[in-house]
Amino acid sequence: MTTNTARISVTAVVGRARARATDLRIGGGLLLLAGATIFMGIITAEALYPGSFSTGANEISDLGGTRPPNSVILQPSATIFNLAMTVIGALVVAGSWFVQRAFGRRSVTIPIAVLGVGALGVGIFPGNTGNPHAVFAMVTFVSGGIAALSAARVTTAPFRYISFLLGAVSLATLGTYMLLGDASPMAVLGIGGVERWIVYPVVLWITAFGGYLCGRADAGHDQEPET
């Protein structure tokens, strides 16, 4: 009886470990794919932009449509960028579900899910829509930085520190520019440069975090790090 109970217990533990590894692998793969998609989507939209486009003067969202009232929408860049944002939003939301299954930490997965919703909104409501776009863009900025900070709780060194650093850089850039405006030390980069210092750390983080999760699953590390 004792032997059978022990076997059942071992089988259950092995089953949970395999299920968790699968969740890590799928969730990580989705996040990694999301990061790669937005990187390549932005590069492609910029390369095919038929007008003048400046990294310093233009916001990233200008690829999908510039702000009203005199909005400019240029193809094929607008379709490429908006489609890329919509796709990555869906990928990140789906990835957050598997990350939740693996870790059971809402403090980690809720910011990731909100990041996905924000990106999805940016794709559905391009820059030319005005306020709806601005709201979803701000949701994306804030939740992305918070997600990177929160993810440090379920990762191990050295990635734990890298995750925290990327989130801190994104939020610090956003915060100083919101508070100081043109007096911000980052203002010299132009509005486009400032936005990229907010967005790209998050894009780098979500790509790296996805790879981290996949590697963790393959290595069989099914124990959470100490917090």
Under 8 Å between Cβ of 133 and 119: no
- Mean pLDDT across the stretch 7-29? 71
Question: pTM of the entire structure?
Answer: 0.88
The candidate with the shortest Cα–Cα distance to 98, out of 17, 14, 213, 15, is 213
Look at 44-48, 191-195, 218-222 and tell me which has the smallest mean pLDDT.
218-222
Pure H helices in 104-130: 106-124
Per-residue pLDDT band at 217 (split at 50, 70, 90): confident
pLDDT of residue 226: 44
Question: Yes or no: is domain 18-218 CATH 3.40.50?
Answer: no
Residue 183 has pLDDT above 80, yes or no: yes
- As a whole number of Å, the end-to-end CA separation of the chain is 38
- Mean pLDDT across the stretch 137-158? 94
Q: Where are the domains of the chain?
A: 18-218
